[in-house]
Chain A
Amino acid sequence: MNHLVVDNLVSRFVTVDRLEIKKGELMVLIGPSGAGKSSLLNVLAGFMPHTGRIHLGGRAVHALPAHRRKIGYLFQDLYLFPHMTVFQNLKIAMQTRRLKKKQLLAEIDTLLELFRITDLSESYPGQISGGEKQRVAMARAMAGKPDLLLLDEPLSHLDYRTARYLRSQFKQVQQQFGLTTLFVTHDLHEARELGDRILVMEKGRLRLFDQDSIPVKGDLLQMPRDFFTNFFQEPFAV
């Protein structure tokens, strides 16, 4: 069943005729810089004016302000609140759920454990490493149990090993929570490892690929020279 349905969405940098994401699905959005990936996330989040319809879990959210859409957003630069500890960053993300104190604390503990950041709960973002910040930001994005989670190249600043570890950790938690997710990346390895399906965006337009039809390194040169292969050929030719 489709959880996110976007129809005839038109914004300044993005046009989407139709986009459907199933409940609990991890859809990866990939494309070159300037293709409009972040713009699409901003439109879905409610930060950019647009026309068209967005339905999320049966609710029409296109006319709602950002804070009422129940969409989580993990920005590329994370934006953890620097004046709050890790614990407080998670707590504020949960406050709209109006949980009882005991349950709130239990859920924060669960998230801290899932992302292995229990030891950091009293630290401020300025006191922890890049990889740790990434884990905190992921935990915070999930803490509010959003209907849709948007991630804008969250692992792009990290070294290969840390990024790989966090990818697997994220995928595991995403499946455990059953979170419908749209994950933006420019890394094809990441897309293949994470995505149930892959969307490719170029010049503000989307094209959908199933996992099976995603080209692997060796096949790329044999594929027809459409925009997809043109886009991916360059990084693999290195």
Chain B
Amino acid sequence: MIRMFYGILAVCCIGVLGVLYALAAQVGIFDIFKILLTPEARFALNLSLITSVSSVGIAMILGLPVAYLMARRSFPGKFIVDSLLDIPMVMTPLVTGMGLLFLLGPNIAGKWLQKMGIDFLFTPAGAILAQTFIATPLIVRSVRATFEGIDEKYEQAGAMLGLSDVRVFFSIVLPMARNGILAGAVLAWARTLGEFGATLMVAGASRMRTETLPIAVYLNLTSGEIELAVTCAWLLICLGVVLLMALKWLGVRQKAMNY
């Protein structure tokens, strides 16, 4: 039986390697470096980094307090709130994006936002909003598990030293949860870097305007510029591998700290 399992393992690895080979076969390594210097590839990389970092930052600001509340406090309707927070994780990004598009359109919140001079639709800000919507539940889920793993008595010990709630949170809870928080951020960052459906719906697919790396792959593939599409795909793969390594390293550290 174990032999059969090894066989299945080999098939899985061959599948991954096959996909990588298929992508590599489309463009030579020197061509990749040449294409990387084109304005469009650089724009897509920059926009992807800006939108993903911004959205993960905002998702952290929103997600950390929510995760703490969900981990530590009981309140009426917590089960419903908990389920509500998970809904974006089970929604197809395309559907999430469609919902955001209608919400921000001229009928509901859009009018009010327009009066305030804020425009999300078909702008890079829309990409950040869509990615934040996708990233926040991931961060809440991941960081909540970390907070739940820290014995509440550490906070009580802090209170008994005269530390206020705020001080306990920033001096004790956050440093103790550091690796879990970083792991959540890396996971969310990987997810937002590759985010396509929601971003397409809210920010649109405008060349050199809302062109993140996944949008660049889509635009260039559909317009027949395969080499640029594949180069952008390799950029995504490389960034993903770096983040995966960071996640594995954080996992090892988390085990070693063993709070």
Contacts and interface: CB of A to CB of B under 8 A. Distances in A.
B157 A67 contact: no
Interface string B216-259: 00000000000000000000000000000000000000000111
Contacts of A143: 161
Interface stretch (A26-34, A72-80, A192-200, A222-230): A72-80
A96 B151 contact: no
A71 interface: yes
Contact of A140 (B154, B161, B172): B161
A43 to B, nearest CB: 13
A146 B160 CA distance: 9
Contacts of A105: none
Interface string A56-74: 0000000001111011110
Contact of A79 (B151, B162, B257): B151
A130 interface: no
Nearest to B256: A126
A70 B157 contact: no
Contacts of A72: 160-161
Interface in B156-191: 156-165, 168, 171-172, 175-176, 178
Interface in A138-154: 140-141, 143-144, 146
A236 interface: no
Given A75-B153, A81-B154, A92 B160 contact: no
Nearest to B156: A47
A96 B175 contact: no
Interface string A25-47: 00000000000000000000111
Contacts of B159: 46, 65-67
B161 A93 contact: yes
A83 B176 contact: yes
Nearest to A93: B161
A83 B151 contact: no
A216 B209 CA distance: 86
A67 B154 contact: no
Contacts of A146: 160
Contacts, number: 64
Q: Is the interface of A mostly helix, strand, loop or mixed?
A: mixed
A144 B168 CA distance: 15
Contacts of B153: 75, 77, 79
A82 interface: yes
Contacts of A45: 156, 160
Interface string A157-194: 00000000000000000000000000000000000000
Interface in B133-168: 151, 153-154, 156-165, 168
A75 B162 contact: no
A82 B176 contact: yes
B175 A144 contact: no
Contact of A81 (B160, B162, B165, B172): B172
Contact of B156 (A73, A83, A96, A126): A73
A67 B162 contact: yes
Nearest to A75: B153
- Closest 10 A-B residue pairs measured CB to CB? A96-B162, A73-B160, A79-B157, A66-B159, A67-B159, A93-B161, A83-B175, A79-B153, A79-B154, A67-B162
Given A66-B159, A81-B158, 11 more contacts: A45-B156, A46-B159, A67-B158, A70-B162, A72-B161, A75-B153, A82-B257, A83-B176, A92-B158, A93-B161, A144-B161
